[in-house]
């Protein structure tokens, strides 16, 4: 059975991290390891990870999302790799159904779930009720609900180790975050891999936790800046893939 390395970047997010880890432990029944990459938190996150015997990479200051993901990927031992926001909740069969999709064909490189808070095709159209209710209704294994897309959002980003070996780590020019997931998806497709939404997997997302403490104008500027970096790198508008 495939082992999954679940990599969770964290910065002063203990209030998100605790329920996220608890949900993984409660609902994941495939072999896995949790790797928390802590970006210099001062809220007890490091102590929590040590107390709960989580694999921990701790850096003294906030290096941003792409760099944190890369630090986690470098120490990951899994056959499959999951980049997971700390403000998410795993659900029953959520990861297992994503894995089924990932390994259903050799040319599938990245899989993402449906969720209540995301940009693009992974956003559920139906009204959100509760995590338990949504998971009970959506997470019934059904390959007819899988669909190929051009972009997977980085909040819950499952991919093969072979993809990492082939195209490398996330591009850290996009630190502290935004468009690193678009860039990785584009590189995966350039390498001949397909991207899939597992429509039979629901993962809950609180939304914007990573950037909520920042000034809204600063976040807007960061998004615009990284959009330009993507355009400069590829001469392609990433918005066409949403």
Q: How far apart are CA 151 and CA 156, in angstroms?
A: 12
The tokens describing 69, both together, are 């993901």
Q: Which of 85, 123, 122 is nearest to 209 (CA)?
A: 85
Identify whether the C-beta of residue 34 lies closer than 8 Å to the C-beta of residue 66. Answer: no
Tens-place pLDDT, residues 106-141 = 999 999 999 999 989 999 999 999 999 999 999 999
Collapse the DSSP code of 159 into the 3-class scheme (helix H, G, I; strand E, B; otherwise coil) and give the result: strand
Over pLDDT 90: what percentage of the chain?
A: 93
pLDDT class of 215 with cuts at 50, 70, 90: confident
Give yes or no for residue 207 having a pLDDT over 90: no
Give me the pLDDT at residue 34, please.
98
End-to-end Cα distance, the chain? 33
Give yes or no for residue 208 having a pLDDT over 80: no
Tens-place pLDDT, residues 13-29 = 999 999 999 999 999 99
Tens-place pLDDT, residues 64-108 = 999 999 999 999 999 999 999 999 999 999 999 999 999 999 999
Give me the pLDDT at residue 24, please.
98
Return the DSSP state at 169: S
Identify whether the C-beta of residue 84 lies closer than 8 Å to the C-beta of residue 20. Answer: yes
Partnered with residue 196 across adjacent β-strands are 111, 148
Domain count, the chain: 1
Tens-place pLDDT, residues 217-237 = 888 999 999 999 999 999 999
Domain range for 122 is: 4-241
CATH code of 49's domain: 3.90.550.10
Give me the pLDDT at residue 119, please.
87
Give yes or no for residue 186 having a pLDDT over 60: yes
Give me the pLDDT at residue 235, please.
96
Return the DSSP state at 210: T
Give me the pLDDT at residue 227, please.
97
Tens-place pLDDT, residues 16-63 = 999 999 999 999 999 999 999 999 999 999 999 999 999 999 999 999
* Strand ranges, E, within the chain: 4-10, 32-39, 55-59, 80-84, 88-89, 108-114, 146-149, 156-160, 194-202, 204-205
Give me the pLDDT at residue 212, please.
52
Identify whether the C-beta of residue 17 lies closer than 8 Å to the C-beta of residue 86. Answer: yes
Collapse the DSSP code of 23 into the 3-class scheme (helix H, G, I; strand E, B; otherwise coil) and give the result: helix
pLDDT class of 149 with cuts at 50, 70, 90: very high
Give me the pLDDT at residue 168, please.
98
Query: With left for phi above 0 and alpha for psi between -120 and 50, is residue 64 left, alpha or beta?
Result: left
């Amino acid at each position: 059975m495939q082992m999954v390395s679940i990599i969770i970047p964290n910065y002063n997010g203990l209030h998100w991290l605790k329920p996220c880890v608890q949900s993984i432990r409660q609902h994941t029944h495939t072999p896995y390891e949790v790797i928390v990459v802590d970006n210099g938190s001062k809220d007890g996150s490091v102590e929590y990870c040590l107390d709960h015997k989580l694999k921990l990479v701790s850096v003294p200051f906030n290096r941003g999302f792409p760099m944190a993901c890369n630090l986690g990927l470098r120490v990951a031992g899994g056959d499959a790799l999951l980049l997971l926001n700390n403000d998410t909740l795993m659900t029953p069969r959520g990861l297992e159904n994503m894995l089924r999709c990932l390994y259903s064909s050799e040319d599938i490189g990245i899989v993402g779930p449906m969720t209540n808070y995301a940009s693009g095709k992974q956003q559920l159209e139906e009204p959100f009720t509760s995590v338990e209710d949504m998971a009970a209704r959506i997470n019934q294994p059904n390959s007819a609900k899988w669909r190929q897309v051009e972009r997977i959002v980085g909040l819950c980003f499952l991919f093969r180790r072979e993809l990492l070996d082939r195209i490398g780590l996330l591009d850290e020019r996009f630190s502290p975050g935004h468009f690193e997931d678009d860039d990785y998806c584009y590189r995966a497709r350039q390498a001949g891999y397909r991207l899939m939404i597992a429509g039979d997997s629901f993962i809950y997302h609180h939304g914007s936790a990573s950037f909520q403490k920042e000034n809204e104008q600063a976040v807007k500027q960061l998004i615009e800046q990284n959009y330009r970096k993507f355009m400069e790198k590829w001469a392609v508008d990433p918005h066409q893939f949403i």
